[in-house]
Structure 1
Amino acid sequence: MDLLSAVLRELRFESAGYRWLELGAPYRVTFDRPGLRGVHLVARGACELDDGAITRLEAGDLVIFPRGHAHTLRSPGAGTVPAVSGFDLATRTPGNRLRAGHPTVDTVVVCGAFLVGEPDHPALRGIPRRLHVPGTGGRPAAWLAPLVDALATEAFDGGPGSDLVMARLSDALLIRAIRHHSKTVDTPGWLAGLRDPYVAPALAALHADPARPWTLAALATTAGLSRAAFAARFTEAVGEPAMRYLLALRMQRARALLRDERATVAAVATQVGYRSEMAFAAAFKREIGIPPGAYRRTP
């Protein structure tokens, strides 16, 4: 099972559009719209990224905020320059080209945004708050450059269907960035679990069939380890115990199923691995805070 593809399908990423941001020092542009996840690629010049820590971004650098953390792009030494909302700038400016700061442009950033259809998915916790892919010689990484060039073509020269093309290119860019990061990640989470030859099969099994009556012993057998060795290895790689991860995965699936008004609570309980509606309702209320029926009625 290709676990990375499976999890990304479950998360349901959806592009929300791209703009070309032309910046002239001094400037400060904030990105803090709830729900939107930011994508920035420095096409020309350089700027500073402030997300609690200051990082200098050079031409060719790509940075993605998959969990939607607020951040600011600013010119070096921007000081107390008033901040401009990137979202407000995009909504009040027609077309794909945005301007901020001094009229003399010294930096150009390709800015995109995307939504996550399942923001409470447990796997999202395993993606770092910021993905940074440095460029080389002022150009994006070799695997990234064709995607950026295609996005630029569609943004400025595209015809009918360009929005759909850009959405698909955005999906590809995001997936490739996550795949690139998964090879070097050093913090606990399911991305780190992908690299572990014993944890990865167990994760794949859980995502393929979360309703199965899994036990720690059964998962250890899937991984080819003893129960104790597997429990320790899973927790170290993923950052939480295997059965806790399974519970979070089941609750995420339950929330998704409850949005379909045709599915009864009893049917949802069966589909996520509970033998009785009562046991499922108790677990759901304990984890989510409200009963399944009330969750369904929540706008």
Structure 2
Amino acid sequence: MIDPLAQIVTLLQPTAPFSKQASGAGRWRVHRTEVGRPFYCALLEGECRLEADQHDEIVLKKGDFVLIPSAYNFTMSSRSPTSVEDIVDAPVMLADGEHRLGSPDAPADVHLLVGYCVFRSPDAALLASLLPKLLHVQGVNRLATLMQLVSDEARAQRPARDVVLEHLLEVLLIEALRCEGKTDTSPGLLRGLTDERLAVAIRRMHESPDQPWTVAQLANEAMLSRSAFYERFRRVMGMAPMEYLLAWRMALAKDLLRREQARIADVAEQVGYSSASTFSVAFNRHVGVPPARYARDNSAGELSENGADKAPKPGN
């Protein structure tokens, strides 16, 4: 059975190379304006608050993990009430390398690990748009075990600490994404996969992107009326069914164009288009460049509109 989440995570190629230990004492408040970078936070001890664009404030507790696939504006603050006067422009670096928020002299009442992920896929923005805007995982034993390993490694001074920590954070990220049913998420793929009716339709789109799907056919797969399916899909996934299908087809097409020396017509057929010209128009509208140009700019070989393989032959 096709696993839509596994497909997207594989295409995203996530890694977590940027992290830092932080602690807070007393009243503090940090506001960040980012440029769409994936942000994560793991609560190791204590509690704090998080406010993010288009999401209600949440209280983070020990063992919680938060991922914002495309962070723009967000604020983190102490559990106690704060004000604008408590905003910290730059945390204080302590002797042990920890970044202190609030009072540098008082005992810490919260410890956290924060950082930015990197989605190495050239198509990261499109793929990230299929995920929830914010993922908040609570009370998952496997995740708690991983976070304890991360905490131990972060505090230790063992050889190759940074390498081990990076790989642990990658596993932590993937585990958080697959904790379906135990998360507080905004609309997106994770919520869709926990809806037993919608999950069937989502998997069918991923299994057979080459099929000429209609809303009525997908509704039939989900055993819902057309109108009920459309409204439920849009509410749970945050986009209409055909919008999601188009985004997935374009993600697959871009991956095929990058990796394979295939004819444009073959790529078009694999992602559900009846002709190379129809696919080229849709691709150009969605991506901003024709598929042949995208392939030339993003792979070693070349693709042509007429299907001629221009890659050099072995020995030439």
Say yes or no: TM over 0.5: yes
Q: Which of 133, 141, 147 is matched with 1:129 structurally?
A: 133
Q: Which residue number corresponds to residue 71 of structure 1?
A: 74
Letter in 2 for 1:73: M
Counterpart-to-counterpart distance in 2, 1:210 and 1:43: 41
Report percent identity of matched pairs. Answer: 34
Letter in 2 for 1:166: L
**Structure 1: gaps (5+ residues):** 135-139
Counterpart-to-counterpart distance in 2, 1:271 and 1:108: 48
Q: Which of 114, 119, 142 is matched with 2:117 structurally?
A: 114
Change (3 A) 1:72 1:217: closer
RMSD (CA atoms): 3.7
Q: Does 1:245 align with 2:244?
A: yes
Judge conservation of contact 1:131–1:181 (CA < 8 Å) in 2. no
User: How far did residue 74 of structure 1 move?
Assistant: 3.0
Q: Which residue number corresponds to residue 173 of structure 1?
A: 172
Judge conservation of contact 2:132–2:187 (CA < 8 Å) in 1. no
User: How far did residue 237 of structure 1 move?
Assistant: 4.1
Counterpart-to-counterpart distance in 2, 1:73 and 1:178: 22
Q: Does 1:288 align with 2:275?
A: no
Q: Does 1:202 align with 2:201?
A: yes
Judge conservation of contact 1:30–1:85 (CA < 8 Å) in 2. no
Judge conservation of contact 2:219–2:226 (CA < 8 Å) in 1. yes
Change (3 A) 1:64 1:184: closer
Following superposition of structure 1 onto structure 2, how do residues 2-81 of structure 1 map, counting pairs within 5 Å? 2-52=3-53, 54-75=57-78, 76-81=81-86
Deviation sequence 1:121-156 (CA, Å, 0-9, x none): 35x44543223345xxxxx75443211111122223
Counterpart-to-counterpart distance in 1, 2:232 and 2:77: 42
Q: Which residue number corresponds to residue 157 of structure 1?
A: 156
TM-score normalized with structure 2 length: 0.72
Q: Which residue number corresponds to residue 310 of structure 2?
A: none
Change (3 A) 1:32 1:261: farther
Q: Which residue number corresponds to residue 89 of structure 2?
A: 84
Judge conservation of contact 1:35–1:115 (CA < 8 Å) in 2. no
Structure number with greater CO (CA < 8 Å, separation at least 6) is: 1
Change (3 A) 1:229 1:132: closer
* SS at 1:275 equivalent: coil
Judge conservation of contact 1:32–1:71 (CA < 8 Å) in 2. yes
Moved more, 287-296 or 178-187: 178-187
Letter in 1 for 2:114: C
Counterpart-to-counterpart distance in 2, 1:187 and 1:71: 15
Counterpart-to-counterpart distance in 2, 1:257 and 1:205: 20
Q: Which residue number corresponds to residue 273 of structure 2?
A: 274
Moved more, 23-32 or 238-247: 23-32
* SS at 1:259 equivalent: helix
Judge conservation of contact 1:37–1:67 (CA < 8 Å) in 2. yes
Deviation sequence 1:1-39 (CA, Å, 0-9, x none): 233333332333221233211334454434444343222
